[in-house]
A and B are shown apart, each in its own frame.
Chain A
Amino acid sequence: MRFNRSVAALLVGLVLVASIVLLAPRASYSRQDRDATLATASRQHPAGTDELGRDRLVRVSAAFLLSLAGAIAASAITTAAAAAVGTLAAFGPASVGWLAMLACDVFLALPWLFLLMMVRSALPLTTSPANSAAITFLVLAALGWPACARAVWRGALNLRNAEWMLHTRASGLRPVQIVRHAIPNLLPLLVPQFLVCIPAFVIAEANLGALGLGVGEPLPSWGGMLLELDNSAMLMQTRWVYFPVALLVVVLLLLDAIAVEVE
């Protein structure tokens, strides 16, 4: 438990530092210092600049907050959808349950990256960066629910067959009332699902961004910054190019540690 708290505290600390960096005067992720392109670390730019002269620390902070907020929101949507589908399938009529699980199977049969690429490539050519970020995380949320829904369905089925649940039905409680009692008992299943989805969505966004199909420029994203590693001229000039990757790995390790601890 102590380990869990210190990990969470570290993550909150990183969020605070990133927020402070972004709130500093003249800190803008798109502001370009044309006199300091590909600069190494200095007092003005503590983590150097990219090839357009944009401050790397500010961009990493913005990417971290954007990715974390997006992944948390997407995970919340996924968990809510999984809870709704799983509970409906377990407590609803058998035909509804069969249809819900068939829908899960259809989604699970598709490797998510291909579906994600298909949806992203069919977006308008003029999608704004903010919209591309929102759409990326919404699509992740829309594709992430089936695996969670199956787990919730199994948990809800066990719950439905529990003695106290039989008692509630025998007492004549309406289905809505039964589900209201069931949901709090599914929380031990839903909370880990929610936490496990967060790092998975952060990684998915980074992979998609590295393929040029994620959040649009000039909005910073982990994936967009991974693309910097392809620039050999930049790598020769400054080692700070590795900073976003290193921070991303640290963030993912922290998120994973929290998820494992709660699980």
Chain B
Amino acid sequence: MKSAISIARWLARALAIVVLVIAGSTVLVRFAPGYLSDAREMDSRYAVAARVELSQETARSHSLLGMLSAEIGGWAKGNAGISRQYDVPVSGLIRPRLAVTGGLMVRSLVLAWALAIVAALFSSAGRNPAAVWQAPSTLLLAIPTAAMATLCLLSGCGGPVLVMALLLAARDFKFLHRALRKAWLEPHVLQARAQGIRTWRILRFHLFPSLAPQLAALATLSIVTALSALVPVEVLFNVPGLGQLAWNAAMNRDLPVLLAITMIMALAVTLSGVAPDRAGEWRSA
């Protein structure tokens, strides 16, 4: 019962955050200095009458309340608004790209975690100086995602999954190395090692269970990092996912699309926090 109340409270907070994100983003966009300008009005291919129509259309979306109701109404109807650029429901643009982006994220996260855990286990338990393992991770973190993607394209090796996985693995490794290093020096682990218990048993029954909350929190952080890296990776590798759609929308000032994608990202980040927050409670329930 206590757990159910806590979950309900958490869901209410998550819902409040998403509603605030919608309201905040709409206010931000509405009061941005260039909101009322439309790139199409400067396009000479449009006839004068069409340009006048476009400016009238922009002026109609002047009121903040109108924008908010249109935004929430669009979500309630299930079409998430109408794209300015393509004049089609935003949901129709987003739906086929969700699977592409989801697949890319899952493959990258799995590869990144595998790399980071293996490297962190060797660096924390091995005798090699930690710098040997930390140097590649520091170097990878110092390369902007866009540069890493471009260099991969130029050298012809690796693809979007590898670039995202390297970025995520470098970030996760830093946290995992620190956490594992500390865990190996716990008195009960030292005792277990002194008694000759096999390494995999120590990992399975002592290290990973005690690190579970930290690992769950790190997983959330990985998802947030992956979402941020999506745009440059998808744009540079020409992956038809949500990141590429967002970039296209930003370049063409298609704010309904951009707003809808931002909402989805906010929802993904908020929901990804469920597991780490609730894991402890479910275990103790």
Report A's interface with B, CB cutoff 8 A: 102, 105-106, 108-115, 117-125, 127, 199, 203, 206-207, 210-213, 222-223, 226, 229-230, 235, 245, 248-249, 252-253, 256
**Which residues of the other chain, B, contact A253 by a CB distance below 8 angstroms?**
138-139, 142
Per the bound structure, the CA–CA distance linking A162 and B28 in Å amounts to: 40
Per the bound structure, the CA–CA distance linking A248 and B145 in Å amounts to: 12
**Which residues of the other chain, B, contact A115 by a CB distance below 8 angstroms?**
25, 28, 262
Q: Which residue of A lies closest to B18 (CB)?
A: A109
**Which residues of the other chain, B, contact A122 by a CB distance below 8 angstroms?**
28-29, 32-35, 253, 255
Per the bound structure, the CA–CA distance linking A123 and B33 in Å amounts to: 6
Chain A nearest CB from B153 CB (Å) reads: 9
Q: Which one of B37, B150, B227 lies within 8 Å of A124 (CB-CB)?
A: B37
| In contact, B231 and A211 (Cβ under 8 angstroms) | yes
The 9 closest A-B pairs by CB, nearest first: A122-B32, A210-B146, A124-B34, A252-B142, A121-B250, A117-B250, A206-B144, A111-B227, A123-B34
Chain A nearest CB from B112 CB (Å) reads: 17
> Counting CB contacts under 8 A, is B251 at the interface?
yes
Chain B nearest CB from A47 CB (Å) reads: 17
Q: Which residue of B lies closest to A222 (CB)?
A: B144
**Cβ contacts A to B, 19 pairs, < 8 Å:** A106-B21, A109-B18, A109-B266, A109-B270, A110-B269, A114-B262, A114-B265, A115-B262, A117-B231, A118-B255, A121-B250, A125-B37, A127-B34, A206-B147, A211-B250, A212-B251, A252-B143, A253-B142, A256-B141
| In contact, B147 and A111 (Cβ under 8 angstroms) | no
> Counting CB contacts under 8 A, is B259 at the interface?
yes
B114-156 vs A, CB cutoff 8 Å, 1 = contact: the mask equals 0000000000000000000000001101111111001100100
> Counting CB contacts under 8 A, is B249 at the interface?
yes
> Counting CB contacts under 8 A, is B20 at the interface?
yes
Main secondary structure of the interface of A (DSSP, over half): helix
Per the bound structure, the CA–CA distance linking A151 and B253 in Å amounts to: 35
| In contact, A226 and B150 (Cβ under 8 angstroms) | yes
Per the bound structure, the CA–CA distance linking A119 and B29 in Å amounts to: 7
> Counting CB contacts under 8 A, is B175 at the interface?
no
> Counting CB contacts under 8 A, is B82 at the interface?
no
Per the bound structure, the CA–CA distance linking A109 and B265 in Å amounts to: 8
> Counting CB contacts under 8 A, is B176 at the interface?
no
A249-B232 CB under 8 A given contacts A114-B265, A210-B146: no
Per the bound structure, the CA–CA distance linking A159 and B241 in Å amounts to: 46
For window 1-49 of B, CB contacts with A under 8 Å fall at: 13, 16-18, 20-21, 24-25, 28-29, 32-35, 37, 39, 42
Per the bound structure, the CA–CA distance linking A142 and B199 in Å amounts to: 47
**Which residues of the other chain, B, contact A112 by a CB distance below 8 angstroms?**
228
Chain B nearest CB from A3 CB (Å) reads: 12
Instruction: Given contacts A114-B231, A117-B258, list 5 more A-B pairs with CB under 8 A.
Output: A110-B265, A115-B25, A122-B34, A125-B42, A207-B146
> Counting CB contacts under 8 A, is B224 at the interface?
yes
| In contact, B151 and A245 (Cβ under 8 angstroms) | yes
